[in-house]
Amino acid sequence: MPADTFLSTRNPEMTLRQKIWQLNWGLVILLCLIAAVGFAMLYSAANGSVEPWASRQMVRFGLGVVIMFTVALIDVRFWFRYAYLIYLASLALLVAVEVMGSVGMGAQRWIDLGFIRLQPSEVMKVCLVLALARYFHGVSTEEIGRPTYLLLPLALILAPAALVLKQPDLGTAGMLLLAAAAVLFCAGVRWWKFAIVFVGGCAAVPVAWQFLRDYQKARVMTFLNPENDPLGAGYHSLQAMIAFGSGAVTGKGFLQGTQSHLNFLPEKQTDFIFTMLAEEFGLVGSLGLLGLYFLLLAYGFAIAFRARNQFARLLAIGLTTNLFLYVFINMAMVMGVFPVVGVPLPLVSYGGTALLTVMTAMGLIISCYIHRDIRISRRGTSEG
């Protein structure tokens, strides 16, 4: 029985004061704790200075908190009504990258707005989940079983994925596809359809290999055997593993990491910041951060299960899955379990767009919690 058939036990029209009381403060505290870990590691990465990374990250996090609360207090029906328009705006930004995007680290992924370098592919991670949740809210289980009803969501997924691959950004494209798959699965798409796609994807690997850039092929080969080029393509992975091993159980101590402070560890403030934490705080510190992420993910999925409308449920599941992918891919990457793809560690790695995107996603999840008892019709109005 669809969750929308349940009657609301609360008045869906809440005042601003009531919404503020409904804010999930446990989730907010977890976000602040994880961000504090990031500030400390960025302070350490700069050899005991708040400049240039920690201070800017604090300002961005403060802005992110304002955005998160603003998004959270807006009625979830607003996000339902304008989900497609928000998606189209994000898709337009991805197209704009091809026309006016700036190049950084060999890829064209950013739009320079002066006060911030916007990465539209990060924004699309939220907007795609919004659009898919909007579509599947009004689709019955019987309709989902018909292949024609999957054509529009497939187009919504493949259009941004293709644009992101062209930048090129294999990691972000993969995250878009996996987060979308989570929404489709929870919406009721049968598992055998995913199996067909998976088998087809595996069969297409030899063909896709021919379209990869040289540096992408080098990353895959380095992942398989990093010792082949220890001073070149394998340098990142080998130095990260050395830092992990040297941290042992309790670490070398705050500001005492040799791999990072002697500049052996590359990108220590962004993609490889977890490696620096492991070197300075060891296994204990790493498990502590993992525990905070686990609690944050548990909050997200619990909010999804409590939602009484399909849109909020799918939105919370998709955004929480996206957060999980951030954490899993980054940690697997720096530990040598996954090829280096340039995915930041959420709230810890230095970066503007990724941080603000995560905070916006958290705002939407909290909005799903505040408005969890609202029933939404296909047009976005409340029912019951």
Largest CA distance in the chain: 65
pLDDT of residue 288: 96
d(CA 333, CA 328): 8
d(CA 161, CA 182): 15
What's the whole-number mean pLDDT along residues 274-284? Answer: 93
User: How does pLDDT run across 15-40, given as a tens digit for each residue?
Assistant: 888 888 888 899 999 999 999 999 99
Burial class (CB in 10 A: 0-12, 13-18, 19+), 366: buried
Question: Other C-beta atoms within 10 Å of 289: how many?
Answer: 22
CA-based torsion, 97, 269, 293, 246: positive or negative: positive
- Split into its structural domains, the chain has a count of 1
Burial class (CB in 10 A: 0-12, 13-18, 19+), 74: middle
Percent of the chain's residues with pLDDT above 70: 84
Token pair of 229, please?
């080029």
d(CA 296, CA 79): 22
Percent of the chain's residues with pLDDT above 90: 52
What's the whole-number mean pLDDT along residues 341-348? Answer: 90
Instruction: Return the ∠ at Cα 377 (arms to 13 and 5), rounded to 5°.
Output: 90
User: Is it the case that residue 60 has pLDDT exceeding 60?
Assistant: yes
User: Is it the case that residue 1 has pLDDT exceeding 50?
Assistant: no
**Across 48-62, 91-105, 243-257, least confident range:** 91-105
Does residue 364 sit in helix, strand or coil?
Answer: helix
Which residue do the tokens 């680290």 mark? 105
d(CA 117, CA 344): 16
pLDDT of residue 10: 45
Which residue do the tokens 């959420």 mark? 346
Burial class (CB in 10 A: 0-12, 13-18, 19+), 59: exposed
pLDDT of residue 186: 92
Cα separation of the two ends of the chain? 16
pLDDT of residue 287: 96
pTM of the model: 0.88
Order of all β-strands in the sheet with 117-118: 102-104, 107-112, 117-118
The CB-side HSE value for 282 (13 A sphere, CA atoms) comes to 9
d(CA 85, CA 134): 11
User: How does pLDDT run across 205-246, given as a tens digit for each residue?
Assistant: 677 666 666 666 666 666 666 656 555 556 667 778 888 888
DSSP bridge pairs for 112: 117
Domain that holds residue 152: 3-383
d(CA 317, CA 225): 36
Give the ranges where the chain is alpha helix by DSSP (H): 16-22, 25-45, 54-73, 76-81, 83-100, 120-137, 141-144, 151-166, 170-187, 191-203, 205-211, 214-224, 235-247, 258-261, 273-306, 310-334, 353-370
pLDDT of residue 103: 64
User: Is it the case that residue 4 has pLDDT exceeding 50?
Assistant: no
More confident call, 349 vs 166 = 349
pLDDT of residue 210: 67
User: How does pLDDT run across 93-147, given as a tens digit for each residue?
Assistant: 999 988 876 665 556 678 877 667 788 999 999 999 999 999 999 888 788 888 8
Return all residues near 74 (Cβ < 8 A) that are at least 6 apart: 367
DSSP bridge pairs for 383: 375
| Residue 351, phi-psi category: left (phi > 0), alpha (psi -120 to 50), beta (remainder) | left
Instruction: Return the ∠ at Cα 257 (arms to 288 and 35), rounded to 5°.
Output: 40
Mean pLDDT computed over every residue of the chain = 85
Token pair of 99, please?
């026309």
**Across 57-61, 168-172, 377-381, least confident range:** 377-381
More confident call, 320 vs 214 = 320
Q: Could you tell me which of 372, 384, 311 has the C-alpha nearest to residue 7?
A: 384
What's the whole-number mean pLDDT along residues 272-290? Answer: 94
pLDDT confidence tier of residue 267, bands split at 50, 70 and 90: confident
